[in-house]
Every structure is written in C-alpha cells, then in structure tokens.
Amino acid sequence: MSENKQNSAPKSYLEETGGRKGIFKWILSTDHKRIGLLYLYSIMAWFFIGVTLGVLMKLELIAPGKTIMGAQSYNATFTVHGVIMIFLVVIPGLPAVFGNFMLPIQIGAKDVAFPKLNLLSWYIYIAGSILVVSSLFAGGGPPDTGWTFYAPYSFKTGTNMLPAVLGAFVLGFSSILTGLNFIVTTHRLRAPGMSWMKLPVFPWAIYGTAWIQLLATPIVGITLLMVLGERIFNIGFFDPAKGGDPILFQHLFWIYSHPAVYIMILPAMGAISEIIPTFSKKTIFGYRFIVFSTLAIAFVGYFVWGHHMFTSGMSGTALFTFSILTFIVAIPSAIKVFNWVATMHQGSISTDVPFLWAASFIFVFLVGGLTGLVLGALATNVHLHDTAFVVGHFHFIVFGGTGFAFFGALHYWFPKIYGKMYDRSWAKTGWAIFFVGYIALYMPMFFLGVMGMPRRYFDYLPEYHGPNIISSLGALVMVTGFVIMVINLFRAVKTGEKAPQNPWGGTNLEWQISSPPTLENFDEIPTIDKATYKYD
C-alpha cells in the first residue's frame, strides 16, 4: 500500500476548484465527491429541521391536554416532519451522500457514468425541497394530511397540499436519475478485474437500491399526479361520491412506499457490511449470502405492500398472501444479522467510533425487525395497526437502522472525505448519550401501542401518560447526544488533525488512495486481483 503514497502530492478534490470561486466551486462542480457533499449538507440541514419538529411533538405529548401547540399545528408538524424525514432525508440519504462519494471509488472509477446528470439530480432535489417547504408558507397553511396523503382527506383539507405533493413528485425524478446513474456506473465503470463477486457489499447495496429507485418511484409519481388531478380538476379517482375508491390510493401509495423502505435500509446494511469487517480485521462472513440476501430483499420487497392495509378491507386471500410474504422477507435480513455477528467471531476487534455505531445498529435494527414480525402477523396487526407501536417500529427501522448506519458511515468515511480526524472520545460520548436517549425515546412507544394509544394523536387519555413522559425526556437526551456529535464533527473539519490514508486498516479501494482523494481518485485505474475484504 505504501507505494501509493504520493511524494509530489497532487491537489485533493477539495483544493481542486476548476477555476471557480466561492459557492460556485460546489454548485457547478460535477465531481461525484463534491456532489456527495452537496447532498450531505442539504440533507443535514433538512434533518435538523425534521429533528426540531420531532422534538416539538414530543414536548406537546409530554402531558395530556394542550402543552405547547394546538391540534392544527400538531397535525401540520407531524406531516411536515414525516415528509421531510422520508422524502428529503432518508430516501436520498445514504445513496445520494455515500453512494455518490464512495461508489465510484470502491469500484475503481474516476466518477459516475453521467457526471452532469448527477449534478442535475441534485438541482432537482433542491427544487423539490423548495416546493415542499413553500407549502409551509403559502396559501391555507402547512399541509395536515400525514406523509401518507391518504384520500379522501387529502383533497378535502383546506391546507396547502399542492406544493407538498408536487414537491414529492419532483423529488421522485431526482431519485430515478440517481438510480439510473448508479446502475450504469456499476455496470460500465468497474476497474479491470473487479468482477461482480469481487464487488464490496456497499456498492452491491447501492446497486440493488438503484433498481428499486428506478422501478418503484414512477408509481408514486403517477399516484401523486392523480392526487393533483383530484384536487385541481375533481376527477374522482379516489372519491367515493364520484364512483372512485379511496383504497386504490392506498394500494398505489404503498406499492411505492414499501419498496421505498428498502431504498432506505439496503444502503444502510451495505455500510454496516463495510464497517464490521474493517474493525474486526476479518473478511466478511458469508459474502455470497450477504449479497444474495440484498438482492432477495430488493426483489421480494415489491410484494409486501399490503401489510400496511390489513384493516382496510382486503380479501382474506390477499391478507394471507401479504402476511406470509412479509414473514418471508424478514429472512434475508436475519441472514445478514447472523453473518455480521459471525464476522466478529475470532476477529481482532477495535471498538472505535464507527464500530460502536455499527454494533448498536445491529441491536436497534433487531428491535425494529422483530417488532415488524408482530405487525406482520394478522391477529396482532389488527390490534396494533395505527397505534404508537407502529410509530416505535418504523422509527427503529428508519431512524435506528438507517440513521445509525448513516452516522456510522459518516464517522467511518469522515477521515477519507475531509482528510481530517475528529476527537474520538467526544464522538464516543456523543454516541453513548444518543443511544441511551434513543432507547428511552422509542421503547415506550411499544408499550403505548400495546395499551391501545392510536398514532397521530395530538392529545391522549391520562392512562397513557407514564410512558409518554419517558419518551419525551428520552428525546431531549438523544438530541443532546446528537448535538455533541455534530459539534465534534464540525470542529474536526476546521481544526482536526490530519488523517492518514488508511486510519482504520480497511482493505477496499477507498483506503488505498490519499485522504482526501484527488480529483480523479486514482492516478491510474487499479487492476483488481483479490477478493474484497482480504486481510492476509
């Protein structure tokens, strides 16, 4: 590896400005690394807003009755929180940030296949986000339908639905184009010798995800257009008064939105599959099975959308099928968990910051997955559907899963991205506080759900008070940990020590180039002769 060290050190991508100044060196650059960071900063900004809204809701729910806001504001808050978190944060999330940054590097390419399209996708993302946010300020007030936009309420409400729906529609294009770009990149730009079975797991996951983005997103696009048609022209697809069917909307919505959950989680699993081998100094256990299970999830994930609608009135046969497929799609995830733990067996483990995030990911992901089994079974679903239990479950998956993996990946690749190292003991403190707060925030929701507290409730009966207090306090603790983490990273960008080329002893291509990488990543496209994650 050491012969890769450059003595005449060419400029890093951060110094290479292409003659542009100030903000233009970012927003006009087609370098996949700069675009990755553009996404990182925009997504982080939305995430801060989303978290703030989440905390406001938890403050409202700290006691029965009105505490800090009225019902209308609360309804708008959970809607905007959900829309921001889903469409602006976790769906683009790992693919747009780390996929962009790392996919070309990990497959030994200089950039993605279509760099200009890549930049265009970011502009579309920003345009979509601006549309979504404009709904807060213009017209009849922020939307109050929930992020699911269920008909017929979504076209009866007087609030400002149109821009939110239109925004989600535009965002879909960003997702589709990014997916397309990554698929072509993975097919065409792999370095010589990098056969499919030598591809690290993260690019595999990004590749599988890209197919879902490409194939599932158009469905939600059409559905959202139908809502627009409904609101502007009163067509009546979903309006029972005009012979339409509100349940049709739910089908169309979930046909996309369930696979979208896998858009969120597959790249997260990919990132975890990078971190665990690196910190165990061991090749990943069952590489083929991990890759195969990624593809299995991407495939079977298309056929389980009905489990969001067990109480909507589908036929018994449909319920039977959706329930059993839901259980089956759990198996590939279980396989991954077993393989990750087996990778640690007889390793030589350093419990550094990214590893702590990865190990805690396994725990929270297990909780999310196992509670998913409770919701997948018909009898228990009927009881728990649309209660706080569901809120706990999906936060454990999308926030526990994707969020923890995102923070793990951020700490893992940070030294590569910025060429700087953060303060590790502060990072560990932040993680520990975050983890404790996280558990306190979401665990009580399972109890509330079992006790029967419905979701999207601005107010609740006094019998639900106890667990809600713990949950609200947990949110405050968690945010404290989060703030510590963010400040620590910001400080590192400014004043961190210089990071070496391979601080963690990783084996994949990104660790064989300088930190931060040069504009073209590799002086010379490498030839790959070894399998991935080789430690001997």
Task: Tell me which residues in 278-317 interact with another protein (CB under 8 A).
Answer: 280-283, 285-289, 311-313, 316
Measured distance CA(154)–CA(180) in Å, rounded: 31
Binding map of another protein across residues 458-497, x = CB under 8 A, - = no contact: xxxx------------------------------------
Q: Which is nearer to ligand HEM, 78 or 122 (CB)?
A: 78
Is 376 among the residues that bind another protein (CB under 8 A)? yes
Binding map of another protein across residues 62-81, x = CB under 8 A, - = no contact: ---------xx--x------
Q: What are phi and psi of 340, to 5 degrees?
A: -65, -45
Is 395 among the residues that bind ligand HEM (CB under 6 A)? yes
Task: Kindly state the number of chain residues that form the binding site for another protein, as judged by CB under 8 A.
Answer: 86
Q: Note whether 354 and 504 are within 8 A (CB).
A: yes
Among ligand HEM, another protein, none, residue 312 binds (CB under 5-8 Å by kind): another protein
Joined together, the tokens standing for residue 108 give 């030994």
Q: Which is nearer to another protein, 215 or 531 (CB)?
A: 531
- Applying CB under 8 A, which of residues 174, 273, 387, 532 lies at the interface with another protein? 387
- Applying CB under 8 A, which of residues 26, 114, 302, 327 lies at the interface with another protein? 327
Which element (helix H / strand E) includes 369? helix 353-376
Joined together, the tokens standing for residue 407 give 């923070």
- Applying CB under 8 A, which of residues 245, 423, 476, 526 lies at the interface with another protein? 245
Among another protein, ligand HEM, none, residue 430 binds (CB under 5-8 Å by kind): none
| Residue from 287, 365, 173 nearest 534 by CA | 287
Q: Which is nearer to another protein, 348 or 527 (CB)?
A: 348
Which span (29-37, 78-86, 116-124, 426-434) binds ligand HEM, by CB under 6 A? Answer: 78-86
Q: For residues 421-480, which are near ligand HEM according to CB under 6 A?
A: 455-457, 475, 479
Distance of CA 447 to the CA centre of its chain: 26
Q: At what angle do helices 115-137 and 161-188 cross, to 10 degrees?
A: 160
Measured distance CA(61)–CA(80) in Å, rounded: 17
- Applying CB under 6 A, which of residues 35, 37, 76, 85 lies at the interface with ligand HEM? 85
Collapsing DSSP to helix, strand or coil, 189 comes out as coil
Within 241-315, residue ranges assigned H as helices are 246-280, 287-300
Which span (173-181, 225-233, 398-406, 484-492) binds ligand HEM, by CB under 6 A? Answer: 398-406
Q: Which residues contact 291 (CB under 8 A, 6 or more apart)?
A: 197, 199, 201, 204
Q: What are phi and psi of 461, to 5 degrees?
A: -75, 150
Is 371 among the residues that bind another protein (CB under 8 A)? yes
Which span (77-85, 167-175, 352-360, 521-529) binds ligand HEM, by CB under 6 A? Answer: 77-85
Identity of the residue numbered 161:
M
Q: For residues 120-179, which are near ligand HEM according to CB under 6 A?
A: 146-148
Q: For residues 416-445, which are near another protein according to CB under 8 A?
A: none
Within 14-114, residue ranges assigned H as helices are 24-27, 32-60, 71-83, 93-94, 100-106
Q: Which residues pair with 387 in a beta bridge?
A: 454
| Residue from 178, 198, 174, 201 nearest 272 by CA | 201
Is 399 among the residues that bind ligand HEM (CB under 6 A)? yes
- Binding residues (CB under 6 A) for ligand HEM: these are 51, 54-55, 57-58, 78-79, 81-82, 85-86, 89-90, 146-148, 391, 395, 398-399, 403, 455-457, 475, 479
